[in-house]
Amino acid sequence: MLRVILVDDHPVVRAGLKTLLAGDDQIDVVAEASSGSEAVAKAGAFRPDVVLMDLRMGPGVDGADATREIVAVDDPPKVVILTTFETDTDILRAVEAGASGYLLKDSPPDKILHAVHAASRGETVLGEQVAGRLLTRLRTPQAELSGREIEVLKLVSQGMSNRNIAKTMFVSEATVKSHLVHVFTKLDVDSRTAAVAAARERGLIS
């Protein structure tokens, strides 16, 4: 039997996943957790084979940080991220933290079951969309935005004009325009709307 822990801050989601996994006679859900810190504690107490981990669960330890702690022990369980978030930053943080898989919550039930079994065997499991995004990110050099450039983008995303952004940041309009030119170049876009969309996609702004 594969021992599994479910981690999600929504009881309804945990209940649905538990019902799904209960249909597999080779899987035993040994515990549930509603936060990252609780997941770390229960992984230590129950010693599961696989942890199905949500990524964002409100304040406190998130799924990526919890994953990092869980896999840091001797003979750690495998962690499969199951989330609604698929920004480049989210995916990379999870993979770098040591996750063995990354699936979106709208994945077909059989894919989720397959992921649990595959992860337990030491295989890496990525949803098709996630794998595509990760490959694109790895193949395409990413220019880093400065803190000021990200600040300008956040204000742009709020619908502010260059004049209002300049007043808010206590700089000249020319400086704001200069930051935007650099942002457009680094993100390979040609408009404010496209810049905001690209930044959100990469997880640079929320």
Residue 154, burial from CB neighbour count under 10 angstroms (0-12, 13-18, 19+): middle
CA angle 145, 102, 196 (to 5 degrees): 30
pLDDT digits (tens, 9 = 90+) for 177-199: 989 988 888 888 888 998 998 88
pLDDT digits (tens, 9 = 90+) for 11-43: 999 999 999 999 999 999 999 999 999 999 999
CA distances from 195 to 4, 116, 178, 203 (A): 41, 37, 14, 12
Nearest-angstrom CA–CA distance, 18 and 14: 6
Comparing 2-139 with 147-201, is the CATH topology the same? no
Contact 53, 81 (CB under 8 A): yes
CATH tag for 2-139 (out of 3.40.50.2300, 3.90.230.10, 3.40.1350.10, 1.10.3720.10): 3.40.50.2300
Res 140: pLDDT: 57
Domain boundaries, the chain: 2-139, 147-201
Q: At the top level of CATH, which class does the domain 147-201 belong to?
A: mainly alpha
pLDDT digits (tens, 9 = 90+) for 65-122: 999 999 999 999 999 999 887 677 788 788 888 999 899 888 999 999 999 999 999 9
Res 133: pLDDT: 66
Query: Alpha helices, DSSP H only, in the chain?
Result: 11-22, 36-46, 63-70, 88-97, 109-120, 128-139, 147-157, 162-169, 173-187, 192-201
| Predicted model pTM | 0.68
